[in-house]
């Protein structure tokens, strides 16, 4: 097993990029500022259509996506990433993890998710965990 110290981990994480897909402008902008202090590249998209387009152009290391959005939702973004064998690169956020369709999606995919409004520490922990895994694999 590869072990790295915290300084090396932070350096590896800093080099990665994140795509944050969220239709709520206030949440999207504040999280982009927060993430921008931790990684060099943060891309944002205001909906799933723009998110998929940005993913194709930017090739981010991690996608963080709201589940409920008009046109293309977070579940469809997950499905797209799965066709590329990249489903491990997504974290979803949702205000309603217990609605029937979302609960079934989360159960079937066993995807990591955060419930809105999310606690910043849980958000940070999950994002760093995902980014650290991605950094080590690269």
Q: What is the pLDDT along the chain (138 residues), one digit of tens a residue?
A: 344 456 776 677 778 899 999 999 999 999 899 889 888 899 999 999 999 999 999 999 999 999 999 899 999 999 999 999 998 889 999 988 889 999 999 999 998 888 888 777 787 777 777 766 665 455
CATH number (domain holding residue 33): 3.40.50.2300
Structural domain count, the chain? 1
Q: In which domain, by residue range, is 77 found?
A: 8-137
Q: Tell me if 2 is assigned to some domain.
A: no
Q: Tell me if 1 is assigned to some domain.
A: no
Q: Tell me if 33 is assigned to some domain.
A: yes
Q: Output the 3-class SS for the chain.
A: CCCCCHHHHHHHHHCCEEEEECCCHHHHHHHHHHHHCCCCEEEEECCHHHHHHHHHHHCCCEEEEECCCCCCCHHHHHHHHHHCCCHHHEEEEECCCCCHHHHHHHHHHCCCEEECCCCHHHHHHHHHHHHHHHHHHC
Q: Tell me if 39 is assigned to some domain.
A: yes
Model pTM above 0.75: yes
């Amino acid at each position: 097993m590869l072990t790295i110290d915290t300084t090396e981990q932070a350096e590896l994480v800093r080099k990665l990029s994140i795509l944050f897909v969220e239709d709520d402008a206030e949440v999207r902008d504040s999280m982009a500022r927060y993430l921008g202090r931790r990684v060099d590249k943060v891309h944002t998209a205001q909906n799933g259509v723009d998110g998929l387009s940005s993913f194709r152009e930017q090739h981010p290391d991690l996608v963080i996506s709201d589940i409920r959005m008009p046109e293309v939702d977070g579940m469809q973004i997950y499905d797209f990433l799965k066709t590329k064998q990249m489903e491990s690169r997504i974290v979803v956020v949702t205000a309603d993890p217990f609605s029937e369709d979302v609960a079934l999606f989360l159960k079937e995919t066993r995807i990591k998710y955060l419930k809105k409004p999310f606690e910043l520490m849980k958000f940070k922990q999950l994002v760093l965990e995902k980014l650290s895994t991605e950094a080590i694999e690269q």
